[in-house]
Amino acid sequence: MAERTLPVVQTAGLCKTFRDFWRRPRVDAVKDLNLDIRAGEVFGLLGPNGSGKTTTIKMLLGLLYPTRGRVSVFGRAPTDVAVKARLGFLPEESYLYRFLVAEETLDYYGRLFRLPARIRKDRTERLLDMVGLRHEAKRRVGEFSKGMARRIGLAQALINDPEFLILDEPTSGLDPIGARQIKDVIRELGKKGKTILLSSHVLADVEDVCDRVTILYGGQQRATGDIAELLRRTDMTQITAPPLSSDTLEQVRQLISRLEKKDIIQVTHPRVKLEEFFLKIVEEAQVAKVRTSGARQGGAVPDFLQKPAEATREQVIEGLLAASAHGSSAVVRMEPPGFDHRPSPARELIDQLLGPSRAEPATPSPQPPAPGSPSAEPARQKQSADQSVIDSLLGQSADQREDAGP
């Protein structure tokens, strides 16, 4: 994956409290959230219902204002129109105009981005192709099923070829085909270098596509890190092999027992995922041309969705300096009492870029420490704590996972 240097989203001490009519605090939806999403990564925002995921996203989009703390997107306030021109957003439900037909819907959103008519028409057709709704282009979206509306929602989020895509529960209401397709689109966009923020409580979705995750619970950040690192188990080893005879297995068992003084916990035949099985059945039905009035198989991700242009070193510095200079006006800044005035990541990045080790790639601030370094041990402890949170959210005990086998 490309080296990621530019922070697309930064939050510091972000809080949101909903108040009642008399301005009395009612709910603390988000508490002291510190996020740092880098350019080009697929970032997952995980948490159960009511954990503050959607509230966080709405603050990133300028739809809600923080009670305290600060938030910046592309180094600017989220309410800035220039920021919104670089964003794509799919809300938790596709809130569409029921009286518009599918292509009018996409055309309308394209107009808000000031796309020329020719480009709007071209992108509308290709996006409808991508989400498998080309044949329903003239149908009112009010008549669409929830899954079809989600597909239009995804298409509108991509109409401007966004650099940063925010997807709130993108697979909710979708059948497994749609869910798989959206995940494929996310992967594809990730490969093209788009930055994606994915919020979901469907853990499998997040696990499938995300590079890094933050887990929220009760509005608070409970764990953050690289998903591969967070989920890696170092207390077990898994060997995957073609089918083995019982003799061979016995010899393997003896070998392990002799060399490692340990025994094999479980030996099973792996199962395919239900998702894969289901998709295979549907694929067979599609080959047999069974009629359906719903969404059809989507097409490839259109090639107008391009890799964001990489900023030159000078542009990066200028952008960061501008963000720094406009910190009080362009960025929402509401510092809580006792707010930590450490050098901002932007400033650190500038220092790194201008510093003596110019040949070295700039390092993002929340980088996990290298194994064996002095700070590795506390990090491992934190990682272990993070793992327990994931386990509790997954609803799996350690034993259950061990039972899962290879």
Partner 1 sequence: MSRVWAVARLMISEGVRMKIALVFLMLIGAVVVGLPFSIKGDGSLTGAVQSFMQYGLSATGLLLGLLTILMARSLSDEVANRQILMVMTKPIPRWQFLLGKWLGMTLLNAAFLICSGATIYGMVHYIKRTHPPLDPRLDEGELNNEVLVARHASKAMLPDFGADVELEFDRNVEEGAYANVPDFDPAREKLRLLRKHEARWRIVGPMNDRVFEFQNVLCDRSPGHFIQLRYRTQVTRYAPDEIFRALWQVGDARSGTPVYRIPVRHVIDRWHTVRIRSDAVAADGSLQVIFRNRNPFEDERQWPNVMEFRADHPLEVMFVVGTFEWNLVRLLVLVQCKLMFLAAVSLLAVTVFSFPVACLTSLTMYVLAGTRAFIMEALNFESVNRASMFSSVKEFFLQSLMHAYMAICWVIPDFGRYDAVEDLVNGRNVGLVWVLQGMSELALVKTAILLGLAMLLFQRREVAEASF
Binding site for partner 1 (CB under 8 A): 18, 21, 58, 61-65, 81-82, 84-85, 87, 89, 91, 93-97, 99-100, 104, 108-109, 111-114, 153, 156
Closest approach of partner 1 to the CB of residue 101, in Å? 10
User: Which DSSP symbol is given to 397?
Assistant: -
Hey, what are 374's tokens?
């002095």
List C-alpha distances in Å: 141 to 91, 94, 111, 124, 306.
16, 10, 18, 14, 28
- Tell me the C-alpha distance between 182 and 151, whole Å: 8
- Tell me the C-alpha distance between 67 and 261, whole Å: 58
Nearer to partner 1, 5 or 94 (CB): 94
Closest approach of partner 1 to the CB of residue 55, in Å? 8
Closest approach of partner 1 to the CB of residue 107, in Å? 9
- Tell me the C-alpha distance between 160 and 304, whole Å: 9
Nearer to partner 1, 43 or 393 (CB): 43
Nearer to partner 1, 113 or 217 (CB): 113
Nearer to partner 1, 91 or 219 (CB): 91
Q: At 131, which amino acid appears?
A: V
Nearer to partner 1, 68 or 212 (CB): 68
End-to-end CA distance of the chain: 28
List the Cα angle 113/7/354 in 5-degree steps. 120
Specify which residues 214 forms β-bridges with.
45, 224
Closest approach of partner 1 to the CB of residue 185, in Å? 18
Closest approach of partner 1 to the CB of residue 326, in Å? 18
Nearer to partner 1, 47 or 91 (CB): 91
Query: Are the C-beta atoms of 167 and 60 separated by less than 8 Å?
Result: no
Alpha-carbon dihedral angle through residues 208, 213, 214, 217, given to the nearest 10 degrees: 20
Query: Are the C-beta atoms of 60 and 71 separated by less than 8 Å?
Result: yes
Closest approach of partner 1 to the CB of residue 100, in Å? 7
Closest approach of partner 1 to the CB of residue 233, in Å? 39
Nearer to partner 1, 61 or 346 (CB): 61
